[in-house]
Amino acid sequence: MASESPINTSIGSPRLRRVSQASHDLNSDIGSVEFATYTVHIPSTPDNNPMSASMEYSTSQRVEDQFVSSSLFTGGYNCVTQAQLKDKVIESQTSYHPQMTGAKGSFCAVPGCDAKVVTDERGLDILPCECDYKICMDCFRDAVRNGDHMCPGCKEPYRELDVTEYAVHNRKQYQQQMSKTERRMSLMKSTKVMGRQSSEFDHNKWLFETKGSYGYGNAIWPKVDVEGSQDGIGGDPTVFHDKQWRPLTRKLNISAAILSPYRLLIFVRMVVLGLFLQWRIRNPNEDAVWLWAMSVVCEIWFAISWLLDQLPKLCPINRITNLDVLKEKFETPSLSNPTGKSDLPGIDIFVSTADPEKEPPLVTANTILSILAADYPVEKLACYVSDDGGALLTFEAMAEAASFANMWVPFCRKHNIEPRNPESYFSLKKDPYKNKVRQDFVRDRRRVKREYDEYKVRINGLPDSIRRRSEAYNARDEMKAMKLGRAIGNDEEVDKIKIPKATWMADGTHWPGTWTVPAPEHSRGDHASIMQVMLKPPSDEPLKGTTVDSNSMDLSEVDIRLPMLVYVSREKRPGYDHNKKAGAMNALVRASAVMSNGPFILNLDCDHYIYNSQALREGMCFMMDRGGDRISYVQFPQRFEGIDPSDRYANHNTVFFDVNMRALDGIQGPVYVGTGCLFRRTALYGFDPPRVKDCNGCCCGGRNKKSKSSSVVSAPEIDSQTIQVGDFDDDNEMNAIIPKRFGNSSFLVDSIQVAEFQGRPLADHPSLKNGRPPGALTFPRELLDASTVAEAISVISCWYEDKTEWGQRIGWIYGSVTEDVVTGYRMHNRGWRSVYCVTKRDAFRGSAPINLTDRLHQVLRWATGSVEIFFSRNNALFASSKMKFLQRIAYLNVGMYPFTSFFLIVYCFLPALSLISGQFIVQTLNITFLVYLLGITLTLILLAVLEIKWSGIELEEWWRNEQFWLIGGTSAHLAAVLQGLLKVIAGIEISFTLTSKSGGDDIDDEFVDLYIFKWTSLMIPPITIIMTNLIGIAIAVCRTVYSVIPQWSKLLGGVFFSFWVLAHLYPFAKGLMGRRGKTPTIVFVWSGLMAITISLLWVAISPPSGTNQIGGSFQFP
C-alpha cells in the first residue's frame, strides 16, 4: 500500500517528502521504492537551530540509515531505482554485527503496522517506555502528537526524559543541528582562512540555492574563521609555533661512495659503447657483409635501449616515514582537538573483481577482511567491492566476509595480529604464540580458527548452495505455471511452458545481476546497477564489546566497529563500451564520491591483501607532509606469495620494483602499476596541482619556471580547459565548466570542493601555503539516506559518462590495455608528483602466475599496452613541459621496449647462422674486438654489482631478470608488437589463447602449477632459437674437427655466443620439460640431436674401413 508520509519541521530545518510503498513482495511492481526530490528550502545557521526539530530530524536520519543498510538498491537506464528490503542476504548468518546488512530490530507491536523498531549502535531495540512496548518511529510520532503522549501498550504517558532520549539517543548536538549537505559543506573552508579570524558571524556571507534533480542545498561558508564556533575548526594556529615542527617523512640519499662510481660507470660504458660501435662500423666483415650488417644494426638498437633504461636511474633515493609524528599531529589531544579524535582524512578502498571462476571468491573475501582490519580510524575507512561480472556468488561471498569480520576484526585488534588476512595468518610457518602476552590468546585463536574453517566451508560451498536453491525455486515456479495452465484449460500449452532459469537470492527473490543461465537483462553484458551496503557507516564514538560467557572472546576493551563495506556492480547494457577495469574503477570513483567522499583512494586487486596493517598510515605520511598537496599518488611495491624458491620466471620482478621504481622516485615519481596505489581524489579528477611549474631541469634539480596560467593546457592530448586545485574563487566559472566534465550529478559536483579541502595537509607550518586548520576533520560522518544511495545508483549507470570527460582526462584513462600506466602518465604530464613508499614490513602481498604459459600471457598483456601507448597521443615524445626530462625518458622507454624483440630475435639467431655458415660477425677475433667486448662486459657486471648494493636485491634476482628479459623479448614482446601494428594499421585485434593443456594431480606439491605445460604459439620463437643454436653448434664442431685447417677462433666465438643465448633460455627449456619425474617430448628431441652429434664425432675419430670420408661420399660444405 502506497503512503505519503510528510515530515513537518519547524523553520530553519530542511523539509523533505518521500513517496514509499510498503511491501515485501519484491518481484511485483508494488515492491519498488521511488524517491522524490529532496529540496532544502532554508539552510540552518548557527543562530537558527530549534532543538525539537533537530532531535526529530536526527531520529528520522537513524530510521533512514536503518532502511538503507537493509536494502538492495538497483536501477539503471530507463528503469526506476528500487530499494528491496532484505531480511537476510545469506542463508546461514552465524555471527551478527549491528552494522551488517539485513533488517534490524523487532517488528512494531501496533496492530496493522509491519515496520521495524529503531535500533542503536549495538543493534538493540530502542524502546521509549518502561513497559518495553515495541513501537516504530512513525507510530511513536503518532502517539506523541495525536495520542496525548500516551504509550499504546501500558496506556501511561511517556515521561519527558524518555521522549528526549528516544529522539536523540546519544547523538551529538552538532550533528543534530546540521542537515546532510550542510555537514559536508561545513567541513570545507576557504583557502585563505589562516591568520584572519572574527568573533562575529556574518549572515550576509550565507548563500543558498537549490541545485540538481535531487534538490540538495549548497551553503557557502564565510571566508573568515569563527572563534568559539561549534564547528571545531576554530583555534589559534600560533599554538603550533610553541613546539618544534617535525616532518612526517625523510628522504635518504644513496651513499656517495656507491652512487658516484655508479654514475661514473654509466658514463664510462656510454663512451665504450660509442667507441665500439664506431669501430664496428669502420671495420666490416667483407666475407659476410650480411652477417656484419645485421649485427651492427642490432647492436646500435641495444645501445639506444640501454640508454633509455639506464638514464632514469641516475637519481635513486630512499624514503622513510615517522608514524609517531603522524599520531602526534592527528590523534593527540591539543587545543584545536581537545578530545584527541582522529583528524586524519578519509580513505576509500577499491577492490575490483570480474569473474568468480578465475578469481576465487575466498581470495577476494580474505582481501576484504584484511581491509576491514586495517589499523586506521574505523570511521574514516570505506571499502567498495566492484563486481564487474554481477555474480551472486561474489555477492554472497562478500556477505559471508562481513559476517565473519564480526569475529576476525576484533580478534586482530585485541591481539595485534599480523598479517590480517586469515588464510595467510593461519598458514604462517612460524610460532603463532611468540610475543603474545595475553593469557586468553590461545583460547581466542583456537575459536577463531574453528570459525574460519567453517567460514571457508560455507564460501567454498556457495556455488552448490546457489545452484540447489535456484533449481528448487525454478521447479516451484514451473509447477505453479503448469497448475495455472491446467486451471485455465490450456492443456496443449502446458507442455510448452518454459520458465526462465533464474538465479535466486537467499530471501527468495530474483538476483538482479548475472544469472547462471544467462537471460535478457541478466547476463554479463546486460544487467542493472546493483548496490548493497553490507556494513553501514560505523558510529562516531568507539563501541566496546561485551564480556559474555566463557566460550566467547572478551571484547570489553576492544572497539568492535567495522568500516563501511559496499558491494557495487555497475550497469551494463548492449551497445555500450564499458571499458573493462578502467570503466569499473571510474564507476567506483563516482559512487564513493556520493556516499563517503574520502579525499584519498586506495585501489587493490582482489588477490592483493593488506600485509602490513599500518600501510595506510605510511602512505598518509607522504600525503599530509609539507608539499604533500602536490603528490598525486603513493605507489607501494608489489610483493608476491606462492612463488617457487628459485623464482624461475622472475615473478617477483625485484629489479623493476627495487631498482627502476626507486630511481624514478628521485625524479618525478614512480609509474602507476595498477594495484597498491594511494591516490589523491582531486588528481584523479584531472585538476592541476597547486603551484604548478614548468620543469626545464633533467633530474631532481634544474631551473623551474612557474606556469603563467593554470587555465591553459600544456599537454597536447587535452583539448579542454584545466582547472588548478585550490582555484575555486570564481564559482560561476566552476559551476559552468565542472558539470560538463563530471556529468549531471549535482551531488558529485558539490563533493569535489569538500574532497579537495579534506585532502590538504595541516596548516601547522609557515611554509604550508595550502593547508587546512587542525581539527577540521574530527566531525562525524553523516548517516546514509535513500536519496544518497539512489544518486550513487544513478552515477554508475551505463549512460552517465556520455558527453563527459570520464576516461578522457578524468579518472582512469580509457583506450589502453595498461590503463594504469596511462593514468599515471597523465598525472605526471599535468605537473603532479608521485612517491614510492617502501615499508620495512611489506605493505601488500598478492599472487602471481608461476606457470610459464600464464607468465608469458601476462607479459604479453603488458607489452601490448606499451605498444598501444607508443602509437597513441600518450607517447612521451608529446609530453608537456611540466614533465621532467628524465621522467619523459622513462615513459618513452615504457612505450619502446617491446620493439627490442625484433633485434633481439635476430641477434639470438646470429650465433647459429655464424656457426652454420662458417663466418663470424667480425673478420677475425683480433685484440681490439676482444678488448671492447671485455670492457662492455666488465662495465655491465660492475653496474649490476652497484645496483645490487644501493637497491638491496640479490645477484640471483638480477640474473633471473636478465634471463626472463630474453625469454619475454623473444616471445611475448614480439607478439605484442605484431598485435599492436595490426591494430594500428588494419584495425585487427588478435588474442593469443591456450590451445591445449595438461597438468598433474599432485595436490601435496605447493608449486604444482609450476610444472603444468600449456602449449601456446608464444613458445614457437624461443623453441626455434634453441633448436637452431644446438644444431649450429653440432655442425660447427663437426666441420672444425674434419677440416684440413681447423679455424678454432671462429668456432669458439660462435659457440660462446650460442651458449650465452642458451644460458638465458635455460628456464624456458626447463619449463618445457614439465613436471619432475615425467619425460616430455622435448627431451627425446634433444636426446636425438645429441646422439647424432656424438655419432658423427665417433665416425670422425674412427672412420669406416676403406674410406676417408664420413659416411662414404658425404662431405661437409
Assign 297 to helix, strand or coil: helix
Assign 18 to helix, strand or coil: strand
Indicate whether 908 pLDDT > 90: yes
Beta pairing, strands 677-680 & 631-635:
antiparallel
Indicate whether 1047 pLDDT > 50: yes
User: How much is the pLDDT for 1010?
Assistant: 75
Question: Can you tell me the distance from the alpha carbon of 400 to that of 392, in angstroms, rounded to the nearest whole number?
Answer: 12
User: How much is the pLDDT for 1053?
Assistant: 74
Taking only the tens place, the pLDDT of each residue in 814-840 is 988 889 999 999 999 999 999 999 999
| Model confidence, pTM | 0.82
Taking only the tens place, the pLDDT of each residue in 258-296 is 999 999 999 999 999 999 999 999 999 888 899 999 999
Indicate whether 8 pLDDT > 70: no
Give phi and psi for 147, each to the nearest 5: -115, 25
| Three-state helix/strand/coil letters over 223-284 | CCEECCCCCCCCCCHHHHHHCCCCCCEEEEECCHHHHHHHHHHHHHHHHHHHHHHHHHHHCC
Confidence bin at 1082 (pLDDT 50/70/90): low
Indicate whether 880 pLDDT > 60: yes
Taking only the tens place, the pLDDT of each residue in 221-269 is 334 443 433 333 334 444 434 457 889 999 988 999 999 999 999 999 9
Question: Can you tell me the distance from the alpha carbon of 1039 to that of 1100, in angstroms, rounded to the nearest whole number?
Answer: 10
Beta pairing, strands 347-353 & 381-387:
parallel
User: How much is the pLDDT for 57?
Assistant: 41
**Are the CB atoms for 495 and 487 separated by under 8 Å?**
no
**Are the CB atoms for 947 and 1094 separated by under 8 Å?**
no
- Which residues are marked as active site? 388, 820
Question: Can you tell me the distance from the alpha carbon of 499 to that of 481, in angstroms, rounded to the nearest whole number?
Answer: 8
Question: Can you tell me the distance from the alpha carbon of 381 to that of 371, in angstroms, rounded to the nearest whole number?
Answer: 9
Tell me the mean pLDDT in the region 602-617.
95
Beta bridge partners of 1015: 996
Taking only the tens place, the pLDDT of each residue in 701-744 is 444 444 433 332 333 333 334 445 444 445 555 566 777 889 98
Altogether, the residues listed in the chain come to a count of 1117
Confidence bin at 195 (pLDDT 50/70/90): very low
- Give the closest residue to 44 by CA, choosing from 24, 60, 29, 58: 58
Q: Copy the grid coordinates of residue 391.
A: 555474480
Beta bridge partners of 4: 19
Question: Can you tell me the distance from the alpha carbon of 863 to that of 874, in angstroms, rounded to the nearest whole number?
Answer: 15
Taking only the tens place, the pLDDT of each residue in 665-688 is 999 999 999 899 999 999 999 999
Give phi and psi for 136, each to the nearest 5: -80, 175
**Are the CB atoms for 421 and 642 separated by under 8 Å?**
no
Q: Copy the grid coordinates of residue 1078.
A: 615425467
